[in-house]
Chain A
Amino acid sequence: MPVTHTIKNFETFEYGGEVLTIKDLHFSYPDGRVALDGISLKLCSGDKVALVGPNGAGKSTLMLHLNGILGGRGDPSTTLRVNGMELTRDNLPIIRAMVGLVFQNPDDQLFSPTVFEDVAFGPLHMGLPEDEVRACVDVALEAVRMSSYKDRLSHHLSVGEKKRIAIATVLSMNPSILILDEPSAGLDPRARRTLINLLRELPNTMLVSTHDMALVKELFPRTIVMDEGRVVADGLTMEILDNEKLLTAHGLEKP
């Protein structure tokens, strides 16, 4: 079920239709550690992009910026736009509906007693009427092949099932872009395979952080390599995976 966002005072600017535009994003943690050191990237509609890099490269920090949980103020030279919309305090609720962020640990993502309530959480907060909320939940659970799990209790699910429900909890908001943090971490081969097939089927624009290079090779035509808070490479996955010097320099391995 499509959700329409009515935007008031929509500021026009040079906008080429990108889903996500980041220009010169900086961020330091309160203890002074620099986490992001001038990130710039663009994602177009339909892009499926892998985000790789060693632990501590700033991948998760970047992801938390994309829906305004971290940062969001300061530098006037920084641009962070979702669907052409500036990330400001007023736009925040709309941007959070457009950016579906799935956390690494599904136990953090699933905080309601039942699966249904968790998947309905986003749509309910968007203020959709009840029948539309139900429709959104049905569509989202169908998309991850978990329709029969509606009334199950979250703590009775396996990790693989929890992961898929976690994806459904953001799909129900019908986001323009899906952001997944290490979706295949901690899954057994079968659950991992189910997840890969699911990610391949989903039509959404995707930015997926992962250490699973085989997954990158299989699913994502484009790869972004991050290290020490910077984008060190951004291009075709095939070319990046062939560049062994680049991979070794940033602690990555060819699958």
Chain B
Amino acid sequence: MHFDAFDRYHEKSSFLHGLDPRVKVLVTVIYIVSNALLPDAAWFSFVSAWIFLIAANLLSQLGIEYTFKRSIIALPFALVAITVLFSIPGKPISTFQFLMWDLTITDAGLLRFVSILIRSWLSVQMAILLVAVTRFPELIHALEHLRVPAILTTIIAFLYRYLFVLTDEVLRLIRARESRSAAVAGQRSGGGVAWRAKIAGNIAGQLFLRSYERSERIYNAMLSRGYSGHLYTLNPHEMKQRDYFVTAFAIAAIFIVQLVGRL
């Protein structure tokens, strides 16, 4: 039984796949920070950032629309910003009543809302592209090389390894419940809401206990192989000339995007 829904890596041998993972992580982070720093309604910048993204998509051989399709699931999170529509003072565009409030959309608010939407949408796509072209262990190596504290990279590595094991565990628990969720013909089944909530609580508790015991066993397995509080890894990555060149080029391009937005 496997649960691989979280594995977003796509095996290909494109230009982006071949880059050093450090370059990819660094450029992605800079791109996202740059997007966040762009002023509102900097349309030329948004377009140039988008072109940058499309170029990256093309270089990944995944197809122009690949990240676009994937990004749609992340879009609802941007709706958190919906309040800026009403909260920023400016010229009113339209007024309507929602429950007991009178809400007025202002022009400044609308501009900011659309800008936030575009910024987050571009950033999410770049992150999606990063995990699609980089194997997860390599991402962790990249973070180690970039001096992210070892405790964080270790936690991420363990999270990645056991996310799948845990999901399988949950699926098994739920399956065990399903297969005993029987009914007598002609009678309403399922029990009361409180009772069902209690069962769900028991499942969550079971999951916690099993994970806790598993963590103990994993720790023992680590001790057995000499673990003494420090993780060592071998990271066989080496920056090539091409990697430096790409980093420089990408940073320059992002810098130009920023300049366009501020002129």
B137–A113 touching, CB < 8 Å = yes
Closest B residue by C-beta to A64: B220
Contact A169 B220 (CB under 8 A): no
Closest residue of chain A to B6 (Cβ to Cβ) is A155
> B217, A103: Cβ atoms under 8 Å?
yes
From known contacts A93-B228, A121-B225, A122-B226, infer whether A133 and B136 are also in contact, taking CB-CB under 8 Å. no
A170 contacts B225, CB within 8 Å?
Answer: yes
Q: Is A108 an interface residue (CB 8 A)?
A: yes
* Binary contact readout A110-148 vs B (1 if CB under 8 angstroms, 0 otherwise): 111110010011101110001001100000000000000
On chain B, the number of residues with a Cβ less than 8 Å from chain A's Cβ atoms is 27
**B234 CB contact (under 8 Å) in A107, A124, A153:** A124
Q: Looking across the interface, which residue of chain A has its beta carbon closest to that of B222?
A: A111
By the criterion CB–CB under 8 Å, are A125 and B228 in contact? yes
Which residues from 71 to 107 on chain A have a C-beta closer than 8 Å to any C-beta of chain B?
93, 96-97, 99-101, 103, 105, 107
Interface of B is mostly: helix
A22 to B140, CA, bound (A): 43
Known: A93-B226, A113-B137, A153-B137. A125 touches B217 (CB 8 A): no
On whether the beta carbons of A125 and B225 are closer than 8 Å, the reply is yes
Q: Known pairs A111-B221, A125-B228, A156-B4. 8 more at Cβ < 8 A? A: A69-B224, A110-B161, A113-B161, A114-B137, A121-B222, A124-B233, A125-B225, A155-B2
B234 and A130 within 8 A (CB): yes
Determine if B214 is an interface residue (Cβ-Cβ < 8 Å): yes
Q: Judging by beta carbons under 8 Å apart, are B164 and A155 in contact?
A: yes
Chain A interface mostly helix, strand, loop or mixed?
A: helix
Q: Which residue of B has the minimal Cβ distance to A116?
A: B234
A interface size (C-beta, 8 A): 36
A67 in contact (CB, < 8 A): yes
Pairwise interchain contact B221-A124, C-beta atoms closer than 8 A: no
Q: Is B248's beta carbon under 8 Å from chain A?
A: no
The chain B residue with its CB closest to the CB of A122 is B225
Q: Which of A144-180 contact B (CB under 8 A)?
A: 153-156, 169-170, 173
Asked if A120 and B217 make an inter-chain contact with CB atoms under 8 angstroms apart, the answer reads no
- Residues in B with CB closer than 8 Å to A109 are 221
Residue from B4, B225, B226, B232 whose CB has the most chain A CB atoms within 10 Å? B225
The answer to whether A155 touches B232 (Cβ under 8 A) is: no
Q: What are the 9 closest A-B residue pairs judged by CB atoms, nearest first?
A: A125-B226, A124-B232, A113-B137, A122-B225, A108-B217, A155-B164, A101-B224, A109-B221, A114-B137
Chain B residues near A169 (CB, 8 Å)? 225
Q: Beta-carbon contacts of A19-36 to B below 8 Å, as 1s and 0s?
A: 000000000000000000
Question: Knowing A111-B218, A173-B226 touch, does A155 contact B234 (C-beta < 8 A)?
Answer: no
- Residues of B154-179 contacting chain A, CB below 8 A: 157-158, 160-162, 164-165
Partner of B217, one of A93, A99, A105, A170: A105
CB distance from B235 to the nearest CB of A (A): 10
Residue among A105, A108, A125, A126 having the largest count of chain B Cβ atoms under 10 Å: A108
